[in-house]
Structure 1
Amino acid sequence: MNNLGGFLLSTVGRKILMALSGVVLVLFVLGHMLGNLQIFLGPEVINAYAYKLHHELPTAALWAVRFILLGTIALHLWAAVSLTLDNRRARPEQYASKKAVQASYASRTMRMSGIILLAFIFFHIAHFTVRSVPGMEYDKVPAEGEKVLLQEIKVPLLKEGKPVIKDGEPVMTFNVNDMMISGFKVWWVSAFYIIANGLLCLHLTHGVSSMFQTLGLSNSNWRIRLDRIALVYGWVVFLGFASIPAATFANFLKADPTGGLASTHATITSVSGQ
Structure 2
Amino acid sequence: MSNSSCSLCQFWSSSIGKKIVVALTGIVLVGFLAGHLAGNLLVYVGAEDFNEYAEFLHGMAHGAGIWIARIVLLTCFVLHIVATIQLTTANRAARENRYQCEGTMTASRSSRLMIWSGLTILAFVIFHILHYTIRVDSDLAKFADEGNPYGMLVEGFKNPLVSIFYIIAISLLCSHLSHGVASIFQTLGLRSRKSAGLIDGLAKAYTAVIWIGFISIPIAVLAGFVK
TM-score by length of 2: 0.89
1:86 counterpart letter in structure 2: A
SS at match of 2:135: coil
Distance 1:137 1:100 in 2: 47
Alignment of 1:85-234 (within 5 A): 85-92=89-96, 95=99, 98=103, 109-133=113-137, 137-138=139-140, 149-152=142-145, 154=146, 174-234=147-207
1:131-188 Cα distance to aligned partner (Å, 9 max, x none): 114xx6249xxxxxxxxx3332x2xxxxxxxxxxxxxxxxxxx101111001101111
Partner of 1:8: 12
The structure with the greater share of residues assigned to helix is 2
Aligned-pair CA distance for 1:115: 1.6
Counterparts of 2:158 and 2:74, CA distance in 1: 28
Q: Report the RMSD for the aligned CA atoms in angstroms.
A: 2.3
* Contact 2:58 2:65 survives alignment (8 Å): no
The answer for unaligned runs of 5 or more in structure 1 is 140-148, 155-173, 255-274
Greater C-alpha radius of gyration:
1
1:195 is displaced (CA, Å) by 1.1
1:32-111 matches, cutoff 5 A: 32-92=36-96, 95=99, 98=103, 109-111=113-115
| CA positional deviation for 1:212 | 1.1
Structure 2 unmatched runs, 5+: none
- Tell me, in whole angstroms, the C-alpha distance in 1 between the residues paired with 2:43 and 2:106: 42
| % identity of equivalent residues | 43
1:58–1:110 CA distance, 2 compared to 1 (3 A): farther
Instruction: Tell me the number of residue pairs that the alignment of Structure 1 and Structure 2 aligns.
Output: 220
Indicate the structure with greater strand content. 1
Tell me the CA shift for residue 251 of structure 1.
0.1
Paired residues of 1:21 and 1:75 also in contact (CA < 8 A): yes
| CA distance in 1 between partners of 2:143 and 2:53 (Å) | 18
Q: How far does residue 48 in structure 1 lie from its aligned partner after superposition? A: 0.3
What is the SS of the residue equivalent to 2:194?
coil
Report the Cα offset of residue 124 of structure 1.
0.4
Give the CA deviation at 1:213: 0.6
Once residues 105 and 39 of structure 2 are traced to their aligned partners in structure 1, the CA distance between those partners, rounded to angstroms, is 37
Whole-angstrom distance in 1 between the partners of 2:74 and 2:8: 23
**Deviation for aligned residue 1:231:** 1.0
1:38-69: CA deviation from partner (whole Å, max 9, x where unpaired): 01000110000001111243322221111111
User: Which position in structure 2 is the counterpart of 1:171?
Assistant: none
Q: d(CA) in 2 for partners of 1:63 and 1:109? A: 33
Aligned equivalent of 1:20, options 7, 17, 24: 24
> How far 1:109 moved relative to its partner?
4.3
Quick one: distance in 1 between partners of 2:193 and 2:76? Answer: 30
TM-score (norm 1): 0.74
Aligned counterparts of 1:204 and 1:109: Cα–Cα separation in 2: 15
SS in 2 for 1:150: helix
| Alpha-carbon shift at residue 4 of structure 1 (Å) | 4.5
